[in-house]
A and B are shown apart, each in its own frame.
Chain A
């Protein structure tokens, strides 16, 4: 197997490792002209050796990454879920500040495309709203060095809000039970004055207004997670299962708008509209409190973060893999049940030390408190809990060069 060329050149600390890697057989095919490599090893002056020393002085406060990060260099290529794009901006900023020699590139081409590219050997890691499917995991054994295949790491939890446009409510937060939400999106509840909505909202003066349910026009992990929620929490009403493409597999009707920004704009544009969207992007729109365990909970990052703890790890491919079956009907009323869980998919074994170092350093940063804070700042994500963090740390530690 070969990974995409790391063009960049190592600084002193990793130079010897890189040199060893270059001697191997993996790096040759699309590597730069061999002449470059000796040059890099005997000319560390190209990348001033004092750079790592400078850096901490510039940013004394948050220097989260372990010591080696500052000395790393190279390019890490990721591709996949567009849901992670905003979070990735935060991670890239934070990680590249700590490891100035490293460039992390991320193509938000979509989960399916990201997994495909990863399995084709076109990227070092994939971002995906769904864990590797079984047959994909099988083929990951071919692309990853060694025969352990790839693992899923649940690094990004994004609460999905249910925003609505009902100015006449004047700030009152609407309570919606799973059955009502499913009824609305399945076109069974079509007016805001419907008795089922009124039952959840005693004392609220609901307008006599047609409901315009807005859904994603593109295929998306947000739709899949939202419909999965309805399928689990209100299976009698929502009979379409967890779907990615609304117009092909859903109930029809409603309004389709592309991307999160499109859904938010569509809800904002029409009185009586309701939709589902990444909670950080809904702007000034009010979001419904969602029925869970007999009461109603408004979304908050903390409430959404508990969803992974409440869920079960499945798959059992190996100890390091996190494939999560998200439990949408948690027992506790302080867990917000509609959240998108998005993974990073990485190999357990890579062919060369440089990639291993880069992947480990980046994934360690992403799952650290600092990394989670960075994505919370740039994408409004929910932090993964300390327990899950500890588990993930074990998995990351297991990433190694193929023996």
Chain B
């Protein structure tokens, strides 16, 4: 605690010590508090019967926050105590959140890894009678190569439509938009965020029936359905990031006589690029796992189809869904394929994210790295 702080805020110095040497909770005492909390958790569990570690944690965590507050209040004063509680709460919230998320990830990895083999990565679902027999004996059969290709193509198409559309709309809203049109677009982007994914699928399906004839299910229809879902996410995040670019930067650029569009391209976008890329990857993440719209718009196929304008295209989430709900005989074979497909999807996204991170770092102006 500093002298300045005291004179400004008038906070009482705890236990009358000199401000510069005010007592702090030592590391040892914090470890002590943590140990005590765990012991209390264990104790209460033991009193109530058997010791279950889940409950020990549930009891120990709030006890730790409480003890920290009391100790800090006594030694360091009110403001420090609140600060410590905030830090402890944030850390704990973080741990609480990580538990289910790690659990999901762990389930996907542990269940999916068993079938993540060569056959799965290169094969498709055009099974032969021999495959079906082998499957009954527990031999791995069938793969998701076609679904991987489908996911990449459909998501790629969706991004190719939604990213430029969303980015330019965000630029319009932040840099040009005034008056009614901008307000209308803002409102409509809000509306668009609310389109249920299944409705987007129905819309794309109906639209492409007009173009390709009845019953048509194509990759492009899936891509359009996903782009409808993706665009508002891109707009919103890009808008938010563009708004955060300090106006001083723009004005400095204008003052140097740089035209507006060049200012946007050379100054505004690079400054915001990391945030925008995060937004785009999140938008991709938002749609790459979509099942319902693709079920309707892109259909199901057994083998690879590289042409998004003709024929059905399976994607990984659709594959996962069908292998889970209709696993066939024996059910284990289908369920194992479902988990493996989910794992592949996670891996694809991990690669995409890594690429986006690296790109963001490269594109960022040197000063901001």
Instruction: State how many angstroms separate the Cβ of B224 from the closest Cβ of chain A.
Output: 18
Indicate if the CB atoms of A62 and B129 lie closer than 8 Å. yes
Inter-subunit contact B136/A377 (CB<8 Å): yes
Q: Are A85 and B326 in contact (CB under 8 A)?
A: yes
Q: CB-CB < 8 A to A378: which residues of B?
A: 132, 328-329
- A105 interfacial by beta-carbon distance below 8 Å: yes
With a cutoff of 8 Å between Cβ atoms, the chain A residues found around residue B303 in the complex are 103
Known contacts A82-B326, A105-B301; A94 and B215 CB within 8 A of each other: no
Interface majority SS on B: helix, strand, loop or mixed?
loop
- Return chain B residues, CB-CB under 8 Å to A7: 310-311
In the bound complex, how far is the Cα of B170 from the Cα of A374, in angstroms?
A: 55
Query: In the complex, what distance in Å separates the CA atom of A13 from the CA atom of B136?
Result: 37
Give Cα distance in the complex from A281 to B331, angstroms.
7
**Residues in chain A near residue B322, CB distance under 8 A:** 85, 108
Complex contact B127–A93 (CB within 8 A): yes
Measured between alpha carbons, how far is A377 from B333 in the docked complex, in Å? Answer: 14
Given A93-B131, A94-B129, A109-B296, is A120 in contact with B215 using a C-beta cutoff of 8 Å? yes
A96 located at the interface, meaning its Cβ lies under 8 Å from any Cβ of chain B in the complex: yes
A-chain residues with CB within 8 Å of residue B52 when the two chains form the complex? none
Residues of B within 8 A of A259 (CB): 325-326
Task: Determine if B213 is an interface residue (Cβ-Cβ < 8 Å).
Answer: yes
Complex contacts, B127 vs chain A, CB 8 Å: 89, 92-93
Q: How far is the CA of A120 from the CA of B215 in the complex (A)?
A: 7
Given A89-B132, A92-B126, A260-B325, answer yes or no on A283-B212 (Cβ-Cβ < 8 Å).
Answer: no
| Partner among A93, A106, A109, A379 whose Cβ is within 8 Å of the Cβ of B128 | A93
Query: Would you list which residues of chain B between 57 and 88 have a CB under 8 Å from chain A?
Result: none
Per the bound structure, the CA–CA distance linking A375 and B336 in Å amounts to 21
* B329-A86 in contact (CB<8A): yes
Q: Confirm or deny: B216 has a beta carbon within 8 angstroms of a beta carbon on chain A.
A: yes
A122, B331: Cβ atoms closer than 8 Å: no
Contact of A261 among B128, B212, B325 (CB under 8 A): B325
User: Inter-chain contact count A-B, CB under 8 Å?
Assistant: 103
Q: Is the CB of A379 within 8 A of B300?
A: no
Tell me if A30 is interfacial: C-beta within 8 Å of chain B: yes
- Do B328 and A379 touch across chains, with their CB atoms under 8 A apart? yes
A117 in the interface, Cβ–Cβ < 8 Å? yes
From 171 to 221 in chain B, residues with beta carbon under 8 angstroms from any chain A beta carbon are 209, 212-217
A21-62 interface with B by 8 A CB criterion: 29-30, 62
Return chain A residues, CB-CB under 8 Å to B328: 86, 89, 378-379
- What's the least CB distance linking B218 to chain A, in Å? 11
User: At the interface, yes or no: A141 with Cβ under 8 Å from chain B?
Assistant: no
Measured CB to CB, the closest approach of chain A to B107, in angstroms, equals 15
Question: Chain B interface residue count: which class?
Answer: 20 to 34
In this complex, the member of A94, A96, A105 whose beta carbon has the largest number of chain B beta carbons within 10 angstroms is A105
Provide the bound-state CA to CA distance between A324 and B136, in Å. 33
In this assembly, does B23 line the interface, its C-beta being within 8 Å of a C-beta of chain A? Answer: no
A77 touches B215 (CB 8 A): yes
Q: Are B326 and A108 in contact (CB under 8 A)?
A: yes
Name the CB-closest residue of B to A62.
Answer: B129
Does the CB pair A261–B214 fall under 8 Å? no
Given A85-B322, A105-B312, A261-B331, A4-B213 contact (CB < 8 Å): yes
Query: Is A235 an interface residue when CB atoms closer than 8 A count as contact?
Result: no
Bitwise interface map of A from 275 to 286 toward B, beta carbon under 8 Å scored 1, else 0:
000001101000
* Complex interface residues of chain B between 113 and 161 (CB less than 8 A to chain A): 125-129, 131-133, 136
B326 touches A93 (CB 8 A): no
Mask of B239-274 contacts with A, CB within 8 angstroms, 1/0: 000000000000000000000000000000000000
Interface residue? B45 (CB, 8 A): no
Task: Indicate whether A261 sits within 8 Å of B324 (C-beta atoms), given known contacts A7-B310, A280-B329, A377-B132.
Answer: yes
Contacting pair B329 A2 (CB below 8 A):
no
- Cβ B325 vs Cβ A107 within 8 A: no
Contact between B215 and A121 (Cβ–Cβ < 8 Å)?
yes
Q: Which residues of A contact B14 (CB under 8 A)?
A: none
- Name which residue of chain B comes closest to A261, CB basis: B325
B289 within 8 A of A: no
What separation, in Å, do the CA atoms of A162 and B264 have in the docked complex? Answer: 66
Question: What residue in chain B is nearest A282 (Cβ atoms)?
Answer: B331
The answer to whether A79 touches B213, judged by C-beta atoms less than 8 angstroms apart, is no
What residues of B have a CB within 8 angstroms of the CB of A106 in the complex? 300
Cα-based distance from A10 to B48 in the complex (angstroms): 77
Nearest to A264 among chain B residues (CB) is: B331
B150 to chain A, nearest CB (A): 13
Known A97-B129, A109-B296; judge A79-B215 contact (CB<8 A). Answer: yes
Q: Considering the complex, which residues of chain B in the window 302-317 have a beta carbon less than 8 Å from any beta carbon of chain A?
A: 302-303, 310-312
The reply to whether A4 and B215 form a contact with Cβ atoms under 8 Å apart is yes
Residue of B nearest to A104 (CB): B302
Say whether B214 contacts A121, CB under 8 Å.
Answer: yes
Among B212, B215, B299, B310, residue most surrounded by chain A Cβ atoms (within 10 Å): B215
Cβ contacts under 8 Å, A93 to chain B: 126-129, 131-132
Contacts A/B (CB < 8 Å), 20 sampled: A7-B311, A29-B213, A30-B213, A62-B129, A89-B127, A92-B126, A92-B302, A93-B127, A105-B299, A105-B300, A105-B312, A121-B214, A122-B213, A258-B325, A260-B326, A261-B324, A281-B331, A374-B129, A377-B136, A378-B329
The 3 closest A-B pairs by CB, nearest first: A122-B215, A120-B214, A122-B214
Given contacts A93-B127, A123-B215, 16 further A-B contacts (CB under 8 A): A7-B310, A30-B212, A82-B325, A86-B329, A90-B132, A93-B126, A93-B131, A96-B126, A97-B129, A103-B126, A107-B217, A107-B300, A122-B214, A261-B327, A280-B329, A378-B328
B residues near A, CB below 8 A?
A: 125-129, 131-133, 136, 209, 212-217, 295-296, 299-303, 310-312, 322, 324-329, 331
